[in-house]
């Protein structure tokens, strides 16, 4: 006969087997699918969730087992979109769109003066790659300016290469004696045109005028055109102030002529002065005076200290004045009194 305890154990096991429950279809998870799909699952059956293409697990478990109770445990899996790497940088352009996750789309544009070469948009794919390669922003090309091959207007490139692109510059010139009117520099613009095209015109200047106390060197021509020039000279002892050369300008006028500045006669008859860093006597060495812009130093006397000091005086176009402190002495005084220039320097 079976014992009472054994009979109770067998009954309990039989009850547990008879009372176990099947699990229903597992809960649906956003952006994920389950590997085994059935109407019901026996206790002990295992299922695994997989994120849909383009999505990856962020948190929670992927696998779950049907318990004896027939109720699935709480499913904690969360799937998020896969992220593509930043597609740039796009030089001389912009990438529009800040969401880089699947299945987002970004677009491309170029700065003014540049043209997009390649796809205008690109999509982040399920494998984390972009659908299109990064395009390029290539500079706008300007055609050669409308300059006749055999005309008087010519140009030269200031940038390397044989093609002019956005922001390249060229410089124009006119064949002499034609003068250039307008800006000599043109820039390739964003719209593919040049900023400006100058013109060349013929210019004549009147016969050049002479200068006072001077002359024109070999002005033998009857007609003077743009860029022609003449040179000037000054009479003996006159000093030229300004450029020696005068040029026929595009305005039809001559550039400024020089001025011949006059020499200066000495304002005193007898004196010892400093001239070219040498002590000399006016009556012996400077009878003809000094030239324009030259400077001499007069000796003045400090009566209190019985010493001498120098004061400069400069010749300005025929005008030279001795300083107020200088006292000119007569011939007899130079014989009996010590020259101020020989006193001890103050």
Q: Are residues 197 and 209 in the same domain?
A: no
Count up the domains in the chain and report the number: 5
Final residue belonging to a domain, choices 212, 233, 261? 261
Q: Of 155, 185, 202, which one is at a domain's C-terminal end? A: 202
- Inter-residue long-range contacts of 143-150, CB under 8 Å, 24+ positions, other chains counted: 143/192, 145/170, 145/186, 145/194, 145/197, 146/197, 147/172, 147/197
pLDDT of residue 10: 52
What does the alpha-carbon distance between residue 126 and residue 91 come to, in Å, rounded to a whole number? 27
Average pLDDT for consecutive 10-residue bins of the chain (346 residues)? 52 48 93 94 96 95 95 95 96 96 97 97 97 97 88 90 93 94 96 94 94 90 92 96 96 96 94 94 93 96 91 97 89 70 88
Q: Give the global pTM.
A: 0.63
User: For residue 171, what are the domain limits?
Assistant: 144-202
Task: Using the 3D structure, point to which of 215, 237, 261 is the last residue of a domain.
Answer: 261
Q: Are residue 100 and residue 62 in the same domain, yes or no? A: no
User: Within 13 Å, how many C-alpha atoms sit on residue 112's CB side?
Assistant: 5
- Count other Cβ atoms within 10 Å, centred on residue 223: 10
Cβ atoms of 34 and 48 closer than 8 Å: yes
What is the sign of the dihedral through the CA atoms of 52, 58, 64 and 70? negative
Which residues neighbour 154 within 8 Å (Cβ) at sequence distance 6 or greater? 147, 172, 173, 174, 175
Instruction: Give the integer Cα–Cα distance in Å for 247 and 278.
Output: 41
Identify whether 30 is part of a domain. yes
The answer to whether residues 41 and 106 belong to one domain is no
Residue 327, in any domain of the structure: yes
Give the angle subtended at the CA of 188 by the CAs of 183 and 194, to the nearest 5°: 55
Answer whether residue 267 is part of any domain. Answer: no
Those residues whose C-beta lies under 8 Å from the C-beta of residue 266, and which sit 6 or more positions away, are 282, 286, 287, 289, 290, 320
What pLDDT, on a 0 to 100 scale, did the predictor assign at position 247?
96
Q: 6: Cβ–Cβ under 8 A, 6 or more apart, which residues?
A: none
**DSSP state string for 59-87:** ES-SEEE--TTS-PPPP--EEEE-BPPP-
Considering the domain architecture, whether residues 16 and 36 belong to the same structural domain is answered as yes
For residue 146, the model assigns a pLDDT of 87
Looking at residue 48, what is its pLDDT? 97
C-alpha distances out from residue 216 to 182, 212, 220, Å? 32, 11, 10
Q: What is the pLDDT of residue 329?
A: 79
Do residue 219 and residue 242 come from a single domain? yes
Asked whether residue 64 is assigned to any structural domain, the reply reads: yes
Residue 91 near residue 137, CB atoms below 8 Å? yes
In a domain, 114, yes or no: yes
Residue 152 covered by a domain: yes
CATH code, domain carrying 283? 2.10.70.10
Say yes or no: 189 and 210 in one domain.
no
Burial of 186 (0-12, 13-18, 19+ CB in 10 A): buried
Here the tokens at position 237 are 């002892």
Q: Are residues 135 and 191 in the same domain?
A: no
Residues 280 and 212 in one domain: no
- 181 shares its domain with 232: no
User: For residue 162, what pLDDT is reported?
Assistant: 87
One domain for residues 233 and 194: no
| Among candidate residues 253, 155, 246, 153, the one with its CA nearest the CA of residue 203 | 253
Which of left, alpha, beta for 277 (phi over 0: left; psi -120 to 50: alpha)? Answer: left
CA-based nearest residue to 139, from 162, 168, 118:
168
Fill in the DSSP letter of residue 335.
H
Cβ–Cβ < 8 Å for 126, 54: yes
Torsion of Cα atoms, 273 then 278 then 284 then 285, to 10°? -100
CB 165 within 8 A of CB 185: no
Instruction: Give domain status of residue 165, yes or no.
Output: yes
Position 87 in a domain: no
Task: Give the Cα separation of 107 and 134 in Å (integer).
Answer: 10
């Amino acid at each position: 006969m079976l014992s009472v305890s054994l009979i109770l154990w067998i009954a309990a096991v039989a009850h547990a087997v008879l009372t176990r429950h099947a699990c229903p279809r597992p809960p649906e998870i956003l952006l994920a699918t389950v590997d085994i799909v059935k109407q019901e699952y026996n206790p002990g059956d295992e299922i695994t969730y997989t994120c849909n293409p383009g999505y990856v697990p962020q948190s929670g478990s992927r696998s779950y087992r049907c318990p004896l109770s027939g109720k699935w445990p709480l499913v904690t899996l969360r799937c998020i979109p896969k992220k593509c790497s930043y597609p740039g940088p796009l030089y001389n352009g912009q990438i529009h769109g800040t969401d880089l996750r699947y299945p987002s789309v970004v677009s491309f544009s170029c700065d003014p003066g540049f043209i997009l070469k390649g796809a205008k948009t690109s999509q982040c794919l399920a494998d984390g790659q972009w659908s299109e390669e990064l395009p390029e922003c290539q500079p706008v090309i300007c055609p050669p300016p409308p300059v006749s091959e055999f005309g008087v207007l010519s140009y030269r490139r200031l940038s390397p290469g044989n093609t002019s692109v956005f922001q390249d510059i060229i410089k124009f010139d006119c064949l002499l004696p034609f003068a250039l009117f307008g800006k000599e520099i043109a820039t390739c613009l964003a719209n593919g045109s040049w900023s400006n095209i100058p013109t060349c015109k013929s210019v004549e200047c009147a016969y050049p005028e002479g200068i006072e106390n001077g002359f024109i060197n070999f002005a033998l021509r009857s007609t003077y055109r743009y860029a022609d020039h003449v040179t000037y000279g000054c009479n003996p002892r006159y000093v030229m102030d300004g450029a020696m050369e005068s040029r026929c300008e595009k305005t039809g006028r001559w550039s400024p002529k020089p001025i011949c500045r006059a020499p200066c006669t000495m304002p005193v008859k007898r004196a010892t002065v400093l001239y070219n860093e040498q002590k000399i006597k006016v009556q012996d060495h400077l009878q003809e005076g000094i030239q324009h812009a030259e400077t001499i130093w007069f000796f003045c006397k400090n009566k209190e200290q019985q010493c001498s000091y120098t004061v400069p005086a400069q010749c300005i176009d025929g005008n030279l004045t001795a300083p107020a402190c200088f006292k000119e002495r007569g011939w007899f005084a130079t014989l009996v009194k010590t020259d101020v220039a020989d006193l001890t320097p103050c």
